[in-house]
Structure 1
Amino acid sequence: MISSQQHHDQLVNDFFNQNHNDDPNQSKHTNNWAVIVGASRFWFNYRHVANALSIYRSCKRFGIPDSQIILMISDDMACESRNPRPATIFNNGQHHINVYGDDVEVDYRGYDVTVENLIRLLTGRVHEHTPKSKRLLTNSGSNILIYMTGHGGDGFLKFQDSEELTSVELANAFEQMYQKRRYNEILFIIDTCQAES
């Protein structure tokens, strides 16, 4: 049986390393981006931040630079007073890998992790003063991993316990991305209860 981390690693690796005509030396995925969203906040949702940071870590290991990874998390777990290991976040009970280290670059944190900001990011409709580091600067040759984790229900994902992203809103954003030629391929992973809806 493989662990959740190994499964995530395999999915990300398979997507970013697809080859032309099965030639292992010619990957057709060379303009790779990732949008990673931990949509929850508060200590009891520690696992969602750990999941998002695990995917972030996998993307970096597979060669995606921070300039092409957009990370959206509440960023309140590492310094939470109930955290028995301050300034760390682990993705398993054995505490082997601290997924929150000095090299983590959080692009959207806390109250900036909103449905509006995610939709603006995906569709390229960010505010004009948004720094380049918080923009998804993709084109028709870009391959994008979009990973979202949090609490979900039938057709929605909760954001920060205060708003919901619906499957219709997400489908509309993907359609706008398609119309604007913002990607070549997208791998969309949603890691929630009721994710199939």
Structure 2
Amino acid sequence: MEIKSILKILLILILSPLLCHSSEIELPSKYVERAAQGHTNNWAVLVDTSRFWFNYRHVANVLSIYRSVKRLGIPDSQIILMVAEDMACNPRNPRPATVFNNMNQQINVYGNDVEVDYRGYEVTVENFVRLLTGRNHNGTARSKKLLTDSGSNVLIYLTGHGGEGFLKFQDSEEITSQELADAIEQMWQKQRYHELFFMIDTCQAASMYEKFYSPNILAVASSLVGEDSLSHHVDPAIGVYIIDRYTYYALEFLEKVEPNSKKTMAEFLSVCPKRVCISTVGVRRDLYPKDPSSVPITNFFGSVRPIEMTNQVVNISMSSIPDEKESEIVEKIAKGVTYSDLKIKFPEQFPSNIFK
């Protein structure tokens, strides 16, 4: 191939975005329609709202769920982790840089690759609501944004101290069940989720989903209104309770789930009967149109999507390969005409005019 031809191809590739706003790849309509019918990506929002050493178990709770969803395929780029207290670096921790969720200390859930997005005093009601609704402050890092869309299945997990109709954040403020319901309705109105699984482990946890009124939500709570959510066991070496009962049995179930597992959401909803949880697990299904027994657990806790294999040719077209006008411009550039002659304006890299 001649050098001139190679230069033309390179110029087309470089200039196409500048010359045409519609040069996007178009999939055949049947693939687009199929994608629109189901979810296309998975996100998880995992929140520990408690500070102080005696709330060690709440940090272990959230890090354990984090470990499970990450193991099942949701990448860190699609997990928002909010941890109100850095237990791994707490001076009372006899084993620095570790957080365990059982007294045998078999699994360090803090691990070597934990990516905490909001920590310490960043874990506030305002930041949580802004995250869900997409109303982040200007300058918020991409890693701190919930970049979901109408094809996203979203898992929201909350743990901390709560009461009837509220969840405390850092013992200094609280979010009410109505405020949470309104934030989720904003998510739905702004097409920020396809289906949502709400999971909460606090005292009187079921009160937090009672006000929900948006569609496509499946919810589970560790305790009913009027009940406490209890801790599971103490690690004598650490000196505090290290995990809550509901999350302990939920994790026991999740540890047996693999990415290709056939286990369903209905099985997960019954993981902690009252004889082991002490409290009564609450479930809300009326806003969820599907039968949980037909929904794979990886629809929320993993990132596994059905793939259709085909041995036929799929024609993928571009809506605009450079037209005649664009081809003329490329020809002129190839002949040595400058950008200024073509009247192509490029944005100024540094706004020097503001100093004039």
Asked if Structure 1 and Structure 2 have the same fold, meaning a TM-score greater than 0.5 normalized by the shorter chain, the answer is yes
Q: Aligned to 2:129, what secondary structure does the other structure show?
A: helix
- Pairing of 1:59-98 with structure 2 (within 5 A): 59-98=69-108
Equivalent residue in structure 1 for 2:125, among 104, 112, 115: 115
Q: Aligned to 2:114, what secondary structure does the other structure show?
A: coil
1:148 offset after TM fit, Å? Answer: 0.3
Greater RCO (Cα-Cα under 8 Å, separation 6 or more): 1
Alignment match, 2:239: none
Distance 1:82 1:75 in 2: 12
Structure 2 unpaired stretches of 5+: 1-37, 208-356
Distance 2:143 2:90 in 1: 26
- Pairing of 1:29-48 with structure 2 (within 5 A): 29-48=39-58
Distance 1:116 1:194 in 2: 22
Alignment match, 1:101: 111
Larger Rg: 1 or 2? 2
1:30 offset after TM fit, Å? Answer: 4.1
Q: Out of 69-78 and 148-157, give the one that drifted further.
A: 69-78
Alignment match, 1:21: none
Equivalent residue in structure 2 for 1:167, among 160, 164, 177: 177
- Pairing of 1:133-152 with structure 2 (within 5 A): 133-152=143-162
Alignment match, 2:196: 186
Question: Is contact 1:42-1:76 (8 Å) kept?
Answer: no
- Pairing of 1:18-37 with structure 2 (within 5 A): 29-37=39-47
Distance 2:142 2:136 in 1: 10
Cα RMSD of the aligned pairs, angstroms, is 0.9
Equivalent position amino acid for 1:195 in 2: A
Distance 1:53 1:75 in 2: 12
Question: Is contact 2:50-2:85 (8 Å) kept?
Answer: no
Equivalent position amino acid for 1:125 in 2: R
Deviations 1:73-104 (A, max 9, x none): 02421111211211100011111100002200
1:167 offset after TM fit, Å? Answer: 0.3
Question: Is contact 1:33-1:64 (8 Å) kept?
Answer: yes
Q: Does 1:131 align with 2:152?
A: no
Q: Aligned to 1:164, what secondary structure does the other structure show?
A: strand
Distance 2:146 2:177 in 1: 21
Q: Aligned to 2:88, what secondary structure does the other structure show?
A: coil
Moved over 6 A (4+): none
Distance 1:98 1:86 in 2: 11
Q: Out of 144-153 and 29-38, give the one that drifted further.
A: 29-38
Q: Out of 37-46 and 78-87, give the one that drifted further.
A: 78-87
Equivalent residue in structure 1 for 2:187, among 156, 177, 180: 177
Q: Does 1:153 align with 2:163?
A: yes
Equivalent position amino acid for 1:74 in 2: A
Percentage identity across paired residues of the two chains: 75
1:29 offset after TM fit, Å? Answer: 4.8
Aligned length: 170
Equivalent position amino acid for 1:123 in 2: T
Structure 1 unpaired stretches of 5+: 1-27
Deviations 1:111-143 (A, max 9, x none): 000000000000000012101110000000000
TM-score by length of 1: 0.84
